[in-house]
A and B are shown apart, each in its own frame.
Chain A
Amino acid sequence: MSLIKVVEVSKSYEGGDGVVQALTNINLEINEGEFLALMGPSGSGKSTLLSILGGLNSPTTGKLIIDGIDVYALASERLADFRHEYVGFVFQQYQLIPYLTALENVMLPLAITSRTGREQRDMAQTVLDKVGLGSKSLRLPNQLSGGEQNRVAIARAIVNRPSLIFADEPTGSLDSKTAKELLELFQALNQDGLTIIMVTHNRENLEWVSRAVYIRDGVLSQIPQ
């Protein structure tokens, strides 16, 4: 069943040398429970497509339908609510808040819910346990390794039980052992029912995903399995 439907999406923006066409007429359907890889070289438009899929960056033309909702037809604050309810992000540089502990970082998406402090704490601790960082929950981000920070970012992405996880080059700055552990974690989450869309330029990661698409110069093509 199709969870995400990308219809004729194009994105252009003003660059230093005039208008840059980042994406051209993208059409894509992603099923619920898929683990999709967005492949492509640097500057191909894969991160732009990911930000559009995540409701962060409106396309110049085209539509994004997620779970039957025309995402970019939503007003700004409803779009924020949509992101909160449906989407979990794992950013390229982890993007943790430096003055909050691992536990507090994970609790962030819950801070704007009606859950009590204890409920929030329990939920955050549970997901930290799940990503293997239960014992380091009171550490600040700068007291954690890159791989551990990445796991905190994943915990933060899943704590609110979203339908979708968007991960932008999550293994980009990790050694091969840590990268493998992380992909195993993603695979486990996917097996739990989460739909995951991961941007990567590493072909080795393809063995972990259920499907991959390739972007070059803003144009999408399927990669046969």
Chain B
Amino acid sequence: MRLTNIALQNIRRRKMRSALLMLSVIIGVASIIFLYSTTQAMQEDVANKLDQFGSNILILPDSGQSLTFGGITVEAPTQIKELDMSLIPLMQTIKNKETLATIAPKLLANTNLKGREILLLGVDFSQEFKLKKWWKVDGLSKNQLPSAGEVILGSDVALALGLSPNQTVTIKGQDFKVAGIIQSTGSSENDQAVFMDLTVLQKLTKRPNAISLIETAALCYTCPIEEITQQLSAKLPGTKVTALMSTLESRDDTVSKFNLFARSVSLILFLASGLVITMTMKSSVEERTREIGILRAIGFRKRHIIQIVLAEAGWLSLLGGLLGYILGMGMAVSFGSDLMKAQVHIPWQPDLLMYALSASLIIGLTASFYPAWKGSRLDPTESLRYL
């Protein structure tokens, strides 16, 4: 018989108390694993959604000047070095092509309407609406896209030209129906522009296949933006690929706040589990005062008592950690994504098992050390109520 056998026999024969102690470890570990896995998935989901909320990569001609659009200016078309539509399929050949969630090419032109210089933007409406999720367009129903003969107007343009939905506007000699008016966004490139189908503007301006820039939303959570921009630069000669750092910083800020919250909750759970184990072990040691007295009386040293209590806590913590991992991971994989309404799949993460076992062992041993130490210092005579 070894000291660990005494601990194991105690676990085996005092099933209810052992189960209670293990349960506290299981609940603690399962909660932390579940929370960690789901918040990781949520972080990825939130990051992806933020990445899709507006562009984070801008592709421009290598040199060019002009009309203002989000810090880009366009002058006479002849002076501008332009991109062309052949770049779009090339973008789909980069290594991390699956991270490119939205590719929104744009052609910029200017025109004169009622004596005002107006910015014309040729866009792929399906991509544009994915990119500008904050747009509220009066006159268009949900998921409705303007047709080739329709335009949508920025709120300032509509106001200045006195136009409303379903009215007609003539642009470069061609009549277009106003399909909708974008509610004020606060940004000049949206409020002061006229949006029309990209191919229609290419024909109107006699610049077939031409595009001025490409706005891209890349999902950067799993792949750093620097890598994506490098891969795009390599594939798109004659272009300048720029990461919009302000968008990224804002995204990173949100994600890191989320991360901090998840870690704080995990820490609280960790401490709560530790407290529960401490209390359970303390009551277990107190319950065994007489037994400790017997062991001390027959010559067990203090360290022998500590070893027995810690061995018991260690075994239960390890087993609790394993079951907690299976329970927490199982719950996360089964319904974590649905619960959090996240669109990211949560996979089984075997690497977390080592962390779960180590953490449960550390928490179990740490929480049990004080009761073990206190138990070892019991006076054998007092313990046996000898006097």
Contact = CB atoms under 8 A, between A and B. Distances in A.
Given A56-B380, A99-B13, A112 B299 contact: yes
A83 B298 contact: yes
Contact of B6 (A95, A100, A109, A168): A100
A81 B298 contact: no
B381 A51 contact: yes
Nearest to A166: B297
A51, A107, A110, A140: most-surrounded residue (chain B CB, <10 A): A51
B290 interface: yes
Contact of A112 (B290, B291, B301, B381): B301
Interface in A112-133: 112, 117, 120-121
B299 A111 contact: no
A77 B300 CA distance: 9
In this complex, the member of B298, B301, B386, B387 whose beta carbon has the largest number of chain A beta carbons within 10 angstroms is: B298
Nearest to A99: B13
A51 B296 CA distance: 13
A89 B13 CA distance: 25
A109 B387 contact: no
A99 B380 contact: no
B114 interface: no
Interface band, chain A: 35 or more
B295 interface: yes
Interface in A124-169: 140, 156, 160, 168
B3 A91 contact: no
Contacts of A76: 302
A111 B297 contact: no
A117 B298 contact: no
A99 B300 contact: no
Nearest to A77: B301
Interface in B145-167: none
Interface string B155-199: 000000000000000000000000000000000000000000000
A108 B1 CA distance: 7
Given A56-B381, A76-B302, A100-B9, A107 B1 contact: yes
Given A91-B384, A111-B5, A117-B1, A80 B299 contact: yes
Interface of A: 13, 22, 47-48, 51, 54, 56-57, 76-77, 80-85, 87-89, 91, 95, 97-100, 104, 107-112, 117, 120-121, 140, 156, 160, 168
29 contacts: A47-B387, A51-B386, A51-B387, A54-B297, A56-B380, A57-B381, A57-B387, A80-B299, A80-B300, A80-B301, A84-B299, A84-B300, A89-B297, A91-B297, A91-B384, A95-B384, A97-B291, A98-B13, A99-B14, A100-B6, A100-B13, A108-B1, A109-B298, A110-B1, A111-B3, A112-B301, A112-B304, A117-B1, A121-B1
